[in-house]
Amino acid sequence: MDIPTLDGITAKTVTSDRLTTRVLFSGPEDGIPVMFVHGNVSSATYWEDLMMALPAGYRGIAADNRGYGGADPSKKIDATRGVRDLSDDLAALMDALGIETAHVVGHSLGGSVLWQFMIDYPERIRTVTQAAPGSPYGFGGSKGENGEINYPDGAGSGAGIVNPEMVKNIIAQDRSADSPTSMRNVINSLYWKPPFKPAREEELLSSALSIHTGENAYPGDAQPSENWPMAAPGKFGPNNALAPNYQGDVSQLYAIDPKPPVLWIRGAEDLIVSDNSMVDMGALGQMGAVPGWPGADVFPPQPMVSQTRAVLEQYQASGGDYEEVVLPETGHSPYLEKPDEFNQHFHAHIQRYDA
């Protein structure tokens, strides 16, 4: 993968005990480390502007996750571990770079990784910043603020619900706007709120198209199910890793020690992570877009934002601390759409800790 980087960003290949991948760096080598974890169908490229805007004295570090961009394509995501492969990869990268503790920042799927990283490696975290993170209970197939799973096999989540035409367009490296499911149209309709378009649209499109594809990569494998919508998650790939039946015990978050402070920033008009997500089977079924919907008592729209808030409220009640910031007229990428507002809160968050 050869995506141009901004002036001031350095790209290197780094090998840890778990993964060889492309890693982007900004700032002084001896700066306070800030580790960025990107979302699904993207790569470290999405973080470059945010990295360049870090306050003086901070070192930005963003890797291509396993299954994405410049990561070793032979290394697959074992979805039966949830997102633990990606959480463990982050810890191994910190080891390889000689980093004991860091501020961590996640977006979307990267936010899901950070919920797990908080459980597994709390002592390595200075602060957590979550930009439109996935629910701690996974993506799809659960209901209620407590994340009750709809079906034991996770039906209605994972690779089986990914639009196959979009996958074909990714495999074909389609850069056009000819199809509603071309990645150019997908990112410009779902990743941010129209009519916003980022200055580096071409680089971000290249980043999205750099995801590794195949049955054991993206979107992953699927299993037939007797439960609506007749598809359950398989065992490989990022989408299956987010299935609710592969998530761990979320209540472990309440017992971690230390409890890093959490900043949660989201867009008020996010169409991907919301209580009525336009890519959630419950919401689509309720709209009549997917036939056979079994009803709101069985498979309602997943209340992703409400689930996250309920978890963070319990985290706070257990001795942690969090702040929720909602940016108006903003979609799924608040750090790209409203960088000044985002950085105002983000910089204050990390500097407060380091002071």
**For position 215, what pLDDT does the model report?**
78
- 190: DSSP letter: I
Cβ burial, residue 122 (10 Å; 0-12/13-18/19+): middle
The Cα 315–Cα 313 span in angstroms is 5
| DSSP element (H, E) containing 210 | none
6: tokens are 């901004």
**For position 2, what pLDDT does the model report?**
86
- Homologous superfamily, domain 10-354: Alpha/Beta hydrolase fold, catalytic domain (3.40.50.1820)
**For position 1, what pLDDT does the model report?**
60
Give the closest residue to 54 by CA, choosing from 342, 355, 299, 314: 342
Q: What is the pLDDT along the chain (355 residues), one digit of tens a residue?
A: 689 999 999 999 999 999 999 999 999 999 999 999 999 999 999 999 999 999 999 999 999 999 999 999 999 999 999 999 999 999 999 999 999 999 999 999 999 999 999 999 999 999 999 999 999 999 999 999 999 999 999 999 999 999 999 999 999 999 999 999 999 999 999 999 999 999 999 999 999 999 999 879 999 999 999 999 999 999 999 999 999 999 999 999 999 999 999 999 999 999 999 999 999 999 999 999 999 999 999 999 999 999 999 999 999 999 999 999 999 999 999 999 999 999 999 999 999 999 9
Give the closest residue to 61 by CA, choosing from 8, 113, 11, 24: 24
Our measurement of the distance from residue 310's CA atom to the centroid of its chain's CA atoms, rounded to an integer in Å, reads 19
Q: How many CA atoms lie within 13 Å of 174's alpha carbon, on the beta-carbon side? A: 20
CB 20 within 8 A of CB 14: yes
Burial 309-338 (b: 16+ CB within 10 A, else e): bbbbebbbeeebebeebebeebbbbbbbbb
The Cα 81–Cα 98 span in angstroms is 26
229: tokens are 């919508």
Query: Cα dihedral sign for 72, 77, 83, 85?
Result: negative
- 191: DSSP letter: I
The Cα 63–Cα 45 span in angstroms is 9
